[in-house]
Structure formats: structure tokens, C-alpha cells
Amino acid sequence: MKKILFCLVALWLCHGTANAQSKEKGLSWAVETGIGSEWELGGRAQYGINKYVALEGVVKYALDFNDGANWNEITIQPGVRAFSPEFGPGLKGFAALDLGYGIMFDNNFSTSCFALDFSVGLQYKQWYAGYGLGTLHNDGAHKDHLFRVGFYF
């Protein structure tokens, strides 16, 4: 718990310098949460190449309560995020595809697997919200459908 609080305080202290940067070009940071067939909490580092494309690195923790089992999931995924032209003041659409590595574990069992995450939604200034599909692939596909909300620093 102390580590989580320390990370939140560090993110807040870095907010002033990160907020001065352009959200369309250069490095920006975001935190997000999602709820659906699981609850997840994640962080994102995003490097904007131009106003339509950004490369990103995502780290997420999820508590999966699908089918009555309480699985813990941790994923590390690089990916790409594409943006639409603005169709309102500060409002634009986005789509993201992240591929990487994931670990599922509970008290008795753990497994590592390929992780894929797809998101679509709307971004308004520093806030974004949308639909997310997260899958972990080992012997079969484990799918989670989520509503996600995030905030850029």
C-alpha cells in the first residue's frame, strides 16, 4: 500500500512539468481504470509522433471476477494509439492496439501468456473514456469486456 501511495504522490508532483507538454507530440502520462467482467487499474506512457499517431507502453493490474474465480492479472504491453481529427472543441476519437505479455495467478496456480488489448473511445481534452477488450491467450483465449476511463497528465 505504501508503494502505491508513493507512486501516486510522485505522479502528482510530476504533473506540473508533464502538463506543460503538448498532448499531441512528445511524452505524456496517463492513469486509467476499467470495470466490466473484471476491474483493472493501469498506467500508460505515451509518445506522440504527430497529432494522429502515438506509441505507448501500458502496465495494468486486473482482478478478474469472471465465473466466480478471483484471478489476478498483470500485463505489460507496448502498442499504438491512433486519433481522429477533432470533431468538436477538444473532442476526438481514438483506437488503440496493445500486444505484450501477461501473467494470471491465484493462490494455487499461475500461468504466463500472450496479452492483447483493443480499445476505442472518445477523448475530451485530458479525459478519455471508451470500450476495451482485453484477452489473454494460453491454451485458449480469456476475454474481458470493459468500460474504461482515463486521465492524461
Cell numbers standing for residue 134: 482485453
Neighbours of 131 (CB within 10 A): 14
**CATH topology classification for 2-152:** Porin (2.40.160)
Per-residue pLDDT for 9 more than 80? Answer: no
Domain ranges of the chain: 2-152
pTM score: 0.77
- What is d(CA 87, CA 16) in angstroms, rounded to the nearest whole number? 28
At residue 56 the predicted structure's pLDDT band, cuts being 50, 70 and 90, is: very high
Q: Cell 504533473 appears where?
A: 15
Of residues 148 and 138, more confidently modeled: 148
Mean pLDDT estimate for the chain? 83
Lowest mean pLDDT among 41-45, 46-50, 59-63, 134-138: 134-138
